[in-house]
Amino acid sequence: MNVLQIHTRYQQSGGEDTVVAAEANLLEQAGHTVRLFEAKNAGGLAGASQLVASPWNPRSAHRLASSIQGERPDVAHIHNTWFAMSPSVVRRLRAAGVPTVMTLHNYRLVCANALLLRDGRPCELCVTGSPSQAIRYGCYRSRPESVVAAGAIALAAKTDVWGKNVDVFLALTDFMKTIMVRAGLPAEKIVVKPNFTVDPGPRIRPADQSDTVIFVGRLSEEKGAHRLLEAWRAAPPSNLRLKIVGDGPLRSILEAKAPSSVEFLGSIPHAEVPVLLRSARAMVFPSTWYEGLPMTIIEAFASGLPVLANNLGAMASVVKPLGERWLVPATDTTNVDPWIDALTRLSDSSAIGAASAQARAAYEASYTPKANLTALTGAYQRARETAT
């Protein structure tokens, strides 16, 4: 199959770039041909010009038409059009008769900042309401830039450019699918297909024999590390240590308040993370926003590592196979932080052992390269059948 990947890169590479490269490699190893049609979001005046054209950029559509004129792909797979390309490319693909699949890596089609996050908390004002809320709160960078972002969302919704021209949408989780259906995308076109990670190999030691709990993430307000440390300080699990991997604006504040059983490792090479995961007891994931699909959770599952997470957004969808006791109520209903009670579960070695096996089973069922390739090519075939 001849696949055309369509992707806009940000100035700094991120998680989407990694997924695009990983899926391209997976397809090529299976014998498919993959080409990349790419744009890059610029900075300065060039970036401002791109952003102004983001509601509808005919130059991007023309460049795409030239790219596929000589070699028409069997299917186009869109990863990101914001903001250098714009939705104009999907209209051009439809006109050229190219079946189109689009991965919803985040909530960009409905939310100006793509995160459904405002003031460190989940926000759904634009899901079924007006994108003008993004202007009111200045959700995308600055207020003028929020005007452009909100305008792009509003124009796409008014013309139904996504629903009319994309054959299959790939949502990362059931939760994301629910949100996007509420936002107006056709449910019958949305397929849940998570990302994947390679098998890191066998555990270094059984999870229930480890005394290390691990947090991996940015040390910022929405990731919940401050709440985790408050609960850990109030009721530290007996004979367990907490290792925090990551950096961010809150690091110095958190380090100053952390008890002696907490160690800050800072940013470490990504290749070293699986070693920590395969030797840890459990991962804690106290994020306070919906998330897209946290790769750290998938990597933990691949390592047979239980994950204790907030019962919120994508975490609720992904962690649910481990059982309800691994989901922490996201809000305080008893004047006692639920994380204080939840951390005590990490001392239960029998529960840790059982959850370790369940985590690995969840990985093997849904997050392996093989499972991803099957789901991906299935989505491509469905798009081709739908488009004919």
List pLDDT tens digits, range 31-74: 999 999 999 999 999 999 999 999 999 999 999 999 999 889 99
Residue 169 covered by a domain = yes
Query: Residue 112's domain spans which residues?
Result: 2-196+369-387
For residues 268 and 350, membership in a common domain is answered with yes
227 and 284 together in one domain: yes
Task: CATH number of the domain at 63, please.
Answer: 3.40.50.2000
User: Given pLDDT bands bounded at 50, 70 and 90, which one contains residue 387?
Assistant: confident
Average pLDDT over all residues of the chain: 95
- What single letter denotes the amino acid at residue 103? T
In a domain, 201, yes or no: no
Is 105 in the same domain as 216?
no
Cα separations in angstroms, 245 against 105, 192, 270: 24, 30, 10
Residues 117, 119, 125, 131: what is their CA dihedral angle, to the nearest 10 degrees?
Answer: -80
Confidence of residue 331 (pLDDT cuts 50, 70, 90): confident
Residue whose tokens read 């791109």: 50
For the chain, the domain total comes to: 2
Same domain, 127 and 216: no
The pLDDT-based confidence of 333 (bands split at 50, 70, 90) is low
Tokens 């790419």 belong to which residue? 38
Do 147 and 283 have their domain in common?
A: no
Handedness of CA 347, 204, 259, 247 (dihedral sign): negative
* DSSP tag of 166: -
Do 240 and 162 share a domain, yes or no? no
Q: Is the pLDDT of residue 155 over 90?
A: yes
Buried b (16+ CB within 10 A) or exposed e, 72-99: ebbbbbbbbbbbbbbbbbbbbbbeeebb
Same domain, 9 and 140: yes
pLDDT band at 171 (very low <50, low <70, confident <90, very high): very high
Task: Tell me, yes or no, whether 177 and 244 share the same domain.
Answer: no
> Is the same domain home to 93 and 43?
yes
Q: Is residue 108 part of a domain?
A: yes
Q: Write down the pLDDT at residue 114.
A: 96
346 shares a domain with 264: yes
- Do 192 and 248 lie in one domain? The reply is no
